[in-house]
Amino acid sequence: MLGTTQSSGRGWRAGPAWPGLAAVCRHEGVHNDPGPDELERVAIEVAQRAADHVRTRRPELFGPQPGHDPRSVAAGTAGAAAVSVKSTPTDPVTLADTETEQLIRSELSARRPDDEILGEEAGGSVRVPSGVRWVIDPIDGTVNFMYGVPAYAVSVAAQVDGQSVAGAVVDVARAITYSAALGGGAFIDTGQGRTPMCCNRIDSVDLALVATGFSYDARRRAAQGAIIAELLPRVRDIRRIGAAALDLCMVASGAVDAHFEHGLSPWDWAAGGLIAAEAGARVVTPPPDSRSSDGHPTIAVAPGIADAFIGMLDELDARRPMSTSV
């Protein structure tokens, strides 16, 4: 079974299987913490409960059919309580995002009262703590959630000293749970029990199905689009799902062969990156104290094409950080 360790900003590399509690808990204050298997169990339970809430709230906020009232994005309209905006007018946050993050924080605090929490909506310290930190995204793929596109997820990960050691991602619309514990492999649960996952056995990069995503910042989007224009003729095709956590889990399950994207924050990759790595992918993640504005790339790629795919990105100068001032 593949074990993995993380090298911040440089990727994941094959390593020994999980060495036991002592290796993670040498630092002061967490000597009695459980190993990653127990943290994975907590992540699964909390993520699934949060996903139930998201699944219930979607029709309550936006109706039973796909689509939404675009006026609800504008402040001062009747629907303004349902949707507001963050970094740009195209970067929404819904009432369900904030409710779900509150639910996750409450569930984690009840189970793990001494752990820190970093979330997309309520934030947390940029500083990486000594000990366990939960990194959470209440709805990854908020635009899909608003429009009724069935591709949005809840992501819950546990990190120790900035390294992901356990995580769960729940595909809300399909009620599928992806999970992993460091050194324990990656699993998918469609409701009939957990099944191990592994990446596709692909050895030709020109046959790779590649997932990607785009920034909300217009200048960065233009630069990302230019890279895709160069990449597209050299791979099988591109998929833009709209939820990075799901993209990473799709690399793990074999639904795509690779994923790369600039400007993800820790809550986007903390769980999905571990899951992809435990399924055998070569994974490169940003530093654990980075944020979207830093523009670091996140890469996950099936092992048989990893060298070729990363080499191709280097040819395109696509691995350099891409700040929002690009």
Least-confidence region, from 18-22, 223-227, 233-237: 18-22
pLDDT at 281: 98
Phi-psi group of 154: left, alpha or beta (phi > 0 → left; psi -120 to 50 → alpha; rest → beta): beta
Name which of 145, 93, 88 is nearest 119 in CA terms.
93
Give the class (CATH, top level) of 36-197.
Answer: alpha beta
Name which of 165, 191, 163, 187 is nearest 176 in CA terms.
191
- CA-to-CA dists, residue 284 to 205, 258, 295, angstroms: 18, 12, 13
Give the class (CATH, top level) of 205-315.
Answer: alpha beta
Determine the Cα–Cα distance for residues 6 and 25; give it in Å rounded to an integer.
16
Helix (H) or strand (E) segment spanning residue 159: strand 153-160
pLDDT at 81: 55
Residues 112-124 have pLDDT tens digits of: 999 999 998 776 6
| Confidence class for position 324, pLDDT limits 50, 70, 90 | low
Within this chain, domains 36-197 and 205-315 share the same CATH topology? no
| Confidence class for position 33, pLDDT limits 50, 70, 90 | low
pLDDT at 237: 98
In the beta sheet, which residues pair with residue 117?
A: 134
Q: What is the mean pLDDT of the chain?
A: 86
Residues 35-57 have pLDDT tens digits of: 999 999 999 999 999 999 999 99
Q: Where are the domains of the chain?
A: 36-197, 205-315
Contacts of 265 (CB under 8 A, 6+ apart): 120, 290, 291, 292
pLDDT at 80: 41
Average pLDDT value for residue range 5-23: 35
